[in-house]
Structure 1
Amino acid sequence: MFRRGGLDADMELMLADLIIHWLIRGAGDSKLKQVVLLELAAGRAQEHGAMPMNSGRPGTFDAADMAAKDNYGTAAALVKCHHESRGGVRGLVESGITSVPPYFQSPAPGSPAVEKTTTFAMPTIDLSLPRAAIVSLVGEAARTCGIFYVTNHGVDAGAAVSAVRTFHELPLASRSPLYTITPVDGVTYGTMPYAPGQGVGPLLPWQDCLRFLSSTPDFGRIPEVCRDALVEHRRRMEEFGKEMAGMLLEALGVGPERLDVEGWLMACHYYPPCPEPERAVGAAEHTDPCVLTVLAQDDVGGLQFRLDGGSNNGAWVDVPPVPGALLVNIGDVLKCATVVVAMVRVAVDALRAARAVVVKCGTITMDIIDATSLPTAIKR
C-alpha cells in the first residue's frame, strides 16, 4: 500500500502517525483503518530491523526474536498503532485479516499442549448443601487443586455473559469512543497489554476487555443496552465473593471475624475468532493476584488449568464450561496459607468468539495466615 523511501526515518514515522490519526478521526471505512494499521506496523518493524522471517511468512516475527534483540521500542510502536486504531482485536477480525499480526503474544516455546487422557475430575461444590458440608468441600478443593465449580449459587451468570457479547459486538462506531487502556472514571476498554518484562516488548493477548476497576466505577460510561446486567452481576459477585472467601477461611481454620475483603475488579473478556490460534494466546499462563477469582463463561470455553502434584504433575487440562455453574480459583494472596494457587491460561478458537466475565475479589486484611498458624489438617 505504501512505497517507502525518499524520507528520513523520523519524517516517515511522523507521516505514518498523521495518516493513522486522519483515518481514525475521519469517517473512513473501519476495514481500511485496520489495513493501514497492519501496513504501518509491518513498515515500522522492518525499519527498526526487527522483522526476521518466520515460518516463511514475510513481515512477521515472534516473541523470542523480539526478546533476543531487546527491541522494546519497536514493539511499543506496533502496540501504539494498534491502540490508535481504537478497534481492538475484534476490529482486526472485522477487517478480514488472515494471519496474526506480529505484535501479539505467541505461546511460550515448549509450552505443553493440553493433556487429553488425564483422569482429573474438577471438584463441584453445591451451595444447596448444609454449610458444614460446603466448608469441608471448599477446604478439600483448596488443598488439592485450587479451582472448583460452584452450582446452585442463585446468580444469573448467563445474563452477564450475554451482556458482554452485546457490548463487544456493538458496531465499531459505538465501541471506539470508549477505547482507553488507562482508567477513566474506573473504567477501561481495549486490548490490554501485558506488563513488559526485562528485555521483552509489550505484546498483546488475543482479547479485548471491558474492565471496571474502582469501588464505584461509572457504569454510565457504557451503553445502556448492556449496562443493567453488568451492574447487577457486579453487585451479586461482591456478595458471592465475600461468602465464598468466608467459607474458604473457615475451612482454613480462620474465624470469619478476621475477614476483610477489599478491592474488586470485574473484567468482561472477549476472545474473537483467531485465524492462527496456534500463534496467539487469549491469556498467557498466570496466577491471579487476589484472594479468589470467580468466572462465568459461555459455552465456547478456552480456559485451561495446570495440574500440580500426583501422577499428572505439570499437565494442562481443559476446563470445560458447565451450564449454570460459576468457576472459582484461588489467587496469590493465599499462597502463604499452603493452599494450591491455580495456574491458568486461555486458548483461542479459530471459528468462534468466546465471552467470559471475571470478578477478582481483592485482598484479605489480617495477620495470621501463615504456615505456622494453620491447623495441621490443611498443611501439605
Structure 2
Amino acid sequence: MKFHGLTCLFFILYFSSFGQIKNKKIKSEVQTIILSQSEEKTIITDNPVIDLSTQGNHQLSFDDLAMKNLTYHLRIIHCQADWKPSSLSEIEYLQDFNDVPIRSPKNSFGTKIPYLHYQVELPKVRISGNFIAMVYAQRNKRDTVFTKRFSVYENAITVAAKISFARPNHLRNTHQAIDLTLLYPNQLMLNSDDGLDIILRKNYQTENWLSKIPRAQINGQERKITFPFYDNENVIPGGNEFRLINLSSTQQKMTFVESIRQSDAFTEISTMVEVPQGNYSYVQRPDFDGSFVIDHYENGNASVASDYIWCNFQLKMEELADEQIYVVGAFNQYEKSLDNLMEYHASKQMYTKKIRLKQGIYNYQFVSNKPNTMLEGNYSQTENTYEVLVYFRKPGDRHDSLLGYNKLIYP
C-alpha cells in the first residue's frame, strides 16, 4: 500500500491543521510519549533534534493504561520545513522498511495503576529534515494512536548566533534578542535566500520566533549570510522560569509538594499553592526550560516502576471572567485542551486542575487563552534555551534539508 495516497489524505485531513502534522495524542489511554536516547533520569524535551551522522541510538516509548496488549506499529513520515508531508517515497528517506512492529511490552510492577510499557528503536533515515513518528494499532493506519515530531540535521551550514538583551530601552527589561550569521560551504550554490527557511524555537516548543525575518544579505566571497534586523524583528519576550513539581516519591514530600493523599486505587499529590508572578521582580530558579524527567525516588527502574498519580495544580488569584487558564509544559506539548483546563473555586479564590502524570519531575506554567503577561511575566534575565534550525531546498530537490542547527543557552 502506498501511504501517499488516500490513507495519507485521510490522515492529514483528520489529524492535522492546514496540512501540517502536529504532535498529537489521539488515544487517552496512551500516556508519557517519549522520543529520546534514554528515558531513565533523562531530561525529556519536546520536538527532539538528532544529528544525521550519529543517529541510531534513539528510542520511542509510551505507556498503555488500557492493558489490552494490542499490536502497535510505527511509521515514519517525511515532512517539509513547514511540517507538511513531502512527496518523497519511503525508499528515498528511509534506510529500512516502514511499518515497524512494536512488540513485547513490559508490565509495570508495584504500581497502583497498571500499564504496559512499549519501546522501539527509531529507524535510521537517509536524509536530513523533519519527520513524524506515527504509531497506530492493529495495522490500521486509521486507528492512529499518536504522532510525534522530530528533526534530523546535518552540519553543512554553520550557525553563528548570539542571544542578548533587547536593545530598545522600552524592551530591555522584558525581552531578549538574537543576532544571526550563517556560514556556508563552497559546494552549496546559494546566490539568494530563495529556498532558505530559518526557524528560531524557544524552550523546545514549536513556535517560530523569527516569523518576520528580513531578506538575507549574502557575501559570496566570504560565504557568509547575515540578516539586518531594522525593526526589532529579532526580539523575543523573555518569559519567566518554569514552575516545578517533584512527583518522584509517593512516600515523602519532595520539592514543592504540599500534601500526599493515598488510597488503594490511586495516589494524589497537591502542589504548593502558586500565585501569578507577572507583578513581582524576577527571581532566578533552576528549571528544565519546560521539560520533564521520569524518575522513581525509591526504585531505579523508572520506566516500569513509576506509578501514575493525580497531580493537583493550585493557582490562587481572583477569577478572570473572560479567560480560560491552562496548565502546560512539555508533558502535554503545551496544548490548551479540556485535559488541562483549570476550574475556578470561588470559595477558595483558587484555580485547580488534576492531571494524571507518571512519577517524575515536571516543569509547568499557567497560561491563558488570551494574551496575559500577569500569570508568568516577561523578564530579560530569564534563562532560556534557543534552537536555530536552517532549512534549504537544494536546486533540483523535492524536499527541504535541515543543513544547520545550533542550540544556545541564555544567559
Name the TM-score class by shorter chain. under 0.3
- The structure whose residues are more often strand, as a share, is 2
- The structure whose residues are more often helix, as a share, is 1
* TM-score normalised by length of structure 1: 0.22
